[in-house]
């Protein structure tokens, strides 16, 4: 942009007269004419004006870029973390993302931390807006996640078969009905954990519907869902969690700033049978409580004082 800047009158000064200066310095080293002195003063004056214009232009350009030129999805809120934001995680990455048991996988529709020892994700993060919703689609087959590195355990459809547990979505398929390709990503088995039917089809499902209703009303609904604890293992491979948790931040459309007043929903649900009659809000908890049980730091890019406020209520 700077290259296209033209200040009338200065161009000839800075180019052609500068060339002349070099010649004159050699020829007239001992005797400078008054005409040349006047030209030099004039040239310096014009260069000063050019310099001043450049500074003003740069300041205006920077201000404009700050306002319009950024990608809202990837603009982190200033605070604790200095790390660049990862897709679907504008308010910070909850874990260190180091090693086989905390392995980052970024899909178009969501981002997750895969735990190779568990055979499931630690957590899955995504955003839901009204544009992501749509008519119910035909469900595709569950698929192993081929984006996992060689040597990782790739959980198969049949690893869950006959276990009595549902293949429970973290990012729900219905949060991606608007786009078939994105919905198909929700059927990758890295987005699935073993959940009891009474959890998956009742309280967990009810909160998913609640989050979609918030999106339908025009909000940007940021969600992270995950697991902790170990009940048992399916085929020695897939860890059945004792608990499934979810944290939801409800922001206005395009809004990228969490404040002390932002609506936050946090739940911690037991992965057991016999809870089909329970409402989702029975399992409300604090973000801080989930952090303590999982060892994660949610909203890690926000200032610590702000985290203390939103995570303890
Ligand atoms: Mn936190």
> For the chain, which ranges sit under pLDDT 70?
1-82
Model pLDDT, residue 75: 54
The CATH code that applies to domain 72-311 is 3.40.570.10
Model pLDDT, residue 212: 98
- In this structure, are residues 238 and 120 in contact, taking their beta carbons and an 8 Å threshold? yes
Where are the chain's structural domains? 2-68, 72-311
Model pLDDT, residue 84: 78
Q: List pLDDT tens digits, range 77-90.
A: 666 666 778 999 99
Give me ligand 1 centre to Cα 287, in Å: 8
Model pLDDT, residue 10: 37
Model pLDDT, residue 196: 98
Give me ligand 1 centre to Cα 221, in Å: 18
Mean confidence (pLDDT) of the chain: 84
Model pLDDT, residue 1: 36
Give me ligand 1 centre to Cα 96, in Å: 13
Model pLDDT, residue 47: 57
Give me ligand 1 centre to Cα 79, in Å: 11
Give me ligand 1 centre to Cα 249, in Å: 13
Give me ligand 1 centre to Cα 296, in Å: 8
Q: List pLDDT tens digits, range 177-229.
A: 999 999 999 999 999 999 999 999 999 999 999 999 999 999 999 999 999 99
Model pLDDT, residue 282: 98
Model pLDDT, residue 36: 53
Active site residues: 169
């Amino acid at each position: 942009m700077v290259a296209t800047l033209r200040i009338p009158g200065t161009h000839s000064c800075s180019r052609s007269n500068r060339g002349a200066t070099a010649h004159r310095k050699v020829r007239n080293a001992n005797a400078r004419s008054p005409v040349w002195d006047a030209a030099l003063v004039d040239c310096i004056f014009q260069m000063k004006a050019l310099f001043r214009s450049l500074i003003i232009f740069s300041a205006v350009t920077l201000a404009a870029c700050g306002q319009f030129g950024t990608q809202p999805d990837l603009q982190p809120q200033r605070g604790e973390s200095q790390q660049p934001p990862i897709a679907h995680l504008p308010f910070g990455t909850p874990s260190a993302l180091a090693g086989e048991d905390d392995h980052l996988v970024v899909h178009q529709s969501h981002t997750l931390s895969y735990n190779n020892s568990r055979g499931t994700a630690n957590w899955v993060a995504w955003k839901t807006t009204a544009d992501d919703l749509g008519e119910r689609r035909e469900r595709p087959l569950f698929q192993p996640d081929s984006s996992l590195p060689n040597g990782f355990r790739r959980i198969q459809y049949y690893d869950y078969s006959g276990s009595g547990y549902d293949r429970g979505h973290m990012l729900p398929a219905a949060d991606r009905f608007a786009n078939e390709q994105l919905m198909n990503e929700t059927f990758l088995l890295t987005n699935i954990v073993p959940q009891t039917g009474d959890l998956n089809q009742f309280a967990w499902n009810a909160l998913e519907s609640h989050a979609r209703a918030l999106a339908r009303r025009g909000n940007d609904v940021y969600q992270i869902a995950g697991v902790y604890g170990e009940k048992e293992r399916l085929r020695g491979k897939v860890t059945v969690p004792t608990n499934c948790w979810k944290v939801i931040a409800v922001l206005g459309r395009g809004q990228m700033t969490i404040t002390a007043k932002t609506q936050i929903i946090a739940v911690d649900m037991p992965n057991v049978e016999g809870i089909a009659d329970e409402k989702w809000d029975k399992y409300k908890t604090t973000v801080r409580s989930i952090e303590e049980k999982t060892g994660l730091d949610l909203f890690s890019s926000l200032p610590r004082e702000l985290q203390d406020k939103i995570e303890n209520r």
